[in-house]
Structure 1
Amino acid sequence: MSQPSAQPSQTAARPAGNVLLVVAWMTGTLLSFSTVAVSIRELSGSIGVFDILALRNIAGIIILVGVAIAYPSLREGFRPRRMGLHLQRNVIHFFGQYAWALGVTLLPLAMVFAIEFTTPAWVALFAFLLLGEKLTAPRLIAIALGFIGILVILRPAPGSLDPTGLIVLGAAICFALTTIATKRLTGTESTFAILLWMNVMQLPMNYLGADKLFFLQIPDLPILPLIGICVGGLSAHFCLTNAYRHGDAVIVVPLDFLRLPLIALIGWLLYTEPLDPFIFAGGALILIGILQNLRAERRRNLAARAARVTMKEE
């Protein structure tokens, strides 16, 4: 799942923030993402992936409209602005969401989450290719370790590579492109507007692939997974956004990475999925690459800010 307003490949020069608040918001994030994955797995036995994602969009629209009724200041998000960029972002995100959800139904949950964590490395690569940002040594290291981590997780061998893993890798690439588009949108659009138009635009896309009468099956669906998919997606983005609001990416990303052992434990307990050490080893390599890049970006941003202050004083 993408993260519309959180961009872990970047590190702004900001205060460390309240660590306890960051931990609290990240706890909500971890539980929300894990809930969504388990809910998709549980619902996939009754309805298709497109049906599940369409239900999520419908619930998202209802919740967001309800929030806007309660908080009139958010209604600015209903105003159609930069629709071309919204559409571009949401078409890419639609493919990423479907690939990720399909992976959840076919692969061990820990493998899906580990592959998804390559997204920041892809962001660094696409920021260079599409935005002309400098491809620094730390970013190159992050990309290289991300690629090596994927090889460790998938362990490709002639005739033995599971193509489903490549589907989830495609989801990570889509999420990276989505992050690039989100970066451009956040200059003028609120998180509320991005989430609103995400659900409004992706609902007809998912409905085209869904069973047109899937909503008639809602009374027969298990209630907890149904609530999980309807609420978990929005709460994950909301919690993650607030975590970044209160703390630096260098703090948030390692906490976000706890999703991997958490979902591995859930997969082991609920679905008897093996605790594969290669998934953890590959995930650790990916995390090391991301963290060293974040620290380098933070040092560079702090140095640039100090230089600007010095110039003003002179």
Structure 2
Amino acid sequence: MTGALLSFSAMAVSIRALAETLSVIEILAVRSGLGLAVMATLAAARADLRSTIFTRQIPLHFFRNIVHLASQYVWATSLLLLPLATVFALEFTAPAWPLLLAVPVLGERLTASRIGAVVLGLIGMLVILRPGFTTFQPAALLVLLAALGFANTLIMTKKLTRTDTNFAIIFWMNLIQLPLALIGSDPLFVTQLDLGQLPAVLGIGISGLASHYCLANAFRAGDATVVVPLDFLRIPLIAVVGWWLYGEPLDIFVFAGAALIIAGILWNLRSEAARAVAPIDAKKRR
């Protein structure tokens, strides 16, 4: 989980560093290109991984990655316009949307804890944005749009995991997103980079893969009720990074709003865990 936390922070810093030379879509092309190179190398070296690449879900992969690329674009753009802590705090509204979307898309039930998580998420969002009490920042809408896009991506990923491996999902993510990102890029954008930006280039490439890998392994190794709260450490971590590197103020309203959003997510997470255990206990009593 520590690797995931560091990867998300490194990604944000790398995007800001590369934005001095490249456009956002070109930065995403760099990320996808390096990611694809690593995934292709692993597939070539290991037959067990290579055999998992083939999929019958090509249309769903394409749609998922179009939505994901667009969401990454607006999220990365918001990093250049807002304090890092504000972006990361608002991004945590993303888990609230799948709770609603899972009802019509996956046929799941809408429970009291799910409704509560959404309500607390919306209240937390209002605390962070404080409409009417401070100058509204339109860029905040980009983060909320990205969160909604990531929520849709999460729902589609959940569908894909029924038939495809994590390796296949990430491989197709980079394979599909690279040409899409290149369409909007300057054909010679790579020539604009210099050796001084090599750490940022490696940072965006490595963090893009490491964040997925570390988070997936954290969930595989530990219970979600333990892993998810640790993921919330992203907010204070990125707040310190923003203050240290960019002189961004530590806003108490961002932390207060984030606390409400997190409370809603934890409430639903624990309720879902309790519901999953109940049938098992009932069987044991029989």
Tell me which interval the TM-score lies in, with the shorter structure as reference length.
over 0.9
Aligned equivalents of 1:167, 1:77: Cα separation in 2: 35
Measured after TM superposition, the shift of residue 87 of structure 1 is 1.0
The answer to whether 1:79 aligns with 2:54 is yes
Match of 1:117 in 2: 92
Contact 1:46 1:221 in 2 (8 A): no
Match of 1:11 in 2: none
Among residues 43, 59, 77, which one is paired with 1:68 in the alignment? 43
Mind listing any 5+ residue stretches in structure 2 that lack a counterpart? none
State the partner residue of 2:17.
Answer: 42
CA separation in 2, counterparts of 1:191 and 1:309?
Answer: 33
Instruction: Determine whether 1:293 maps to 2:268.
Output: yes
Count of matched residue positions in the alignment of Structure 1 and Structure 2: 286
Residue number among 102, 125, 128 corresponding to 1:153 in the alignment: 128
CA root-mean-square deviation = 1.4
| Structure 1 pair 293–52 and aligned structure 2 pair: CA distance change class (3 A) | same
Query: How big is each residue's C-alpha offset from its partner over 1:166-191, in whole Å with a ceiling of 9 and x where there is no partner?
Result: 11100000000000000000011011
**Separation in structure 2 between the aligned mates of residue 77 and residue 109 of structure 1, nearest angstrom:** 37
Following TM superposition, by how much is the alpha carbon of 1:221 offset from its aligned partner in structure 2, in angstroms?
A: 5.2
Match of 2:240 among 265, 282, 287: 265
How far apart are 1:248 and its partner, in Å?
1.0
Alignment partners' CA distance in 2, 1:129 and 1:253: 25
Bigger shift: residues 155-164 or 198-207: 155-164
Query: Alpha-carbon deviation of 1:163?
Result: 1.2
**Contact 1:56–1:233 (CA<8 Å) still a contact in 2?**
yes
Shift of 1:77: 3.1
With normalisation by structure 1, the TM-score equals 0.88
Report how far residue 218 of structure 1 moved.
3.2
1:112-191 aligned within 5 A: 112-157=87-132, 160-191=135-166
Conserved in 2, the CA contact under 8 Å of 1:145 and 1:285? yes
**Identity over the aligned pairs, expressed in percent?**
51
Q: CA deviation at 1:29?
A: 0.4
- Letter of the 1:101 partner, please give it: A
- 1:56 alignment counterpart: 31
Alignment of structure 1 residues 264-283 onto 2, 5 Å:
264-283=239-258
- Aligned residue type for 1:54: A
**Separation (CA, whole Å) in 2 of partners of 1:266 and 1:87:** 35
Match of 1:307 in 2: 282
Q: Is the 8 A contact 2:4 2:211 kept in 1?
A: yes
The whole-number CA distance in structure 2 between the counterparts of 1:271 and 1:158 is: 25
Change (3 A) 1:158 1:268: closer
Assess if the C-alpha contact under 8 Å between 2:65 and 2:176 holds in 1: yes
How far is the alpha carbon of 1:149 from its aligned partner?
A: 0.7
CA contact (8 A) 2:78 2:140 kept: yes
Amino acid of the residue matched to residue 272 of structure 2? Answer: E
Q: Classify 1:92/1:309 alpha carbon distance in 2 versus 1 (closer, same or farther; 3 Å).
A: farther
**Aligned mates of 1:221, 1:78 — CA distance in 2:** 35
Quick check: 1:215 aligned with 2:181?
no
Q: Which moved more, 1:30-39 or 1:67-76?
A: 67-76
> Is 1:43–1:221's contact at 8 Å kept on the other side of the alignment?
no
Distance in 1 (alpha carbons) for counterparts of 2:247 and 2:266: 31
Superposed CA offset, 1:186-235 (max 9, x none): 01101110001001111121112212211222335512111100111100
Give the Cα separation in 1 of the matches to 2:82 and 2:105: 31
Task: Classify the secondary structure of the residue corresponding to 2:194.
Answer: helix
- State how far apart, in whole Å, the 1-side matches of 2:196 and 2:52 are: 32
Matched, 1:192 2:154: no
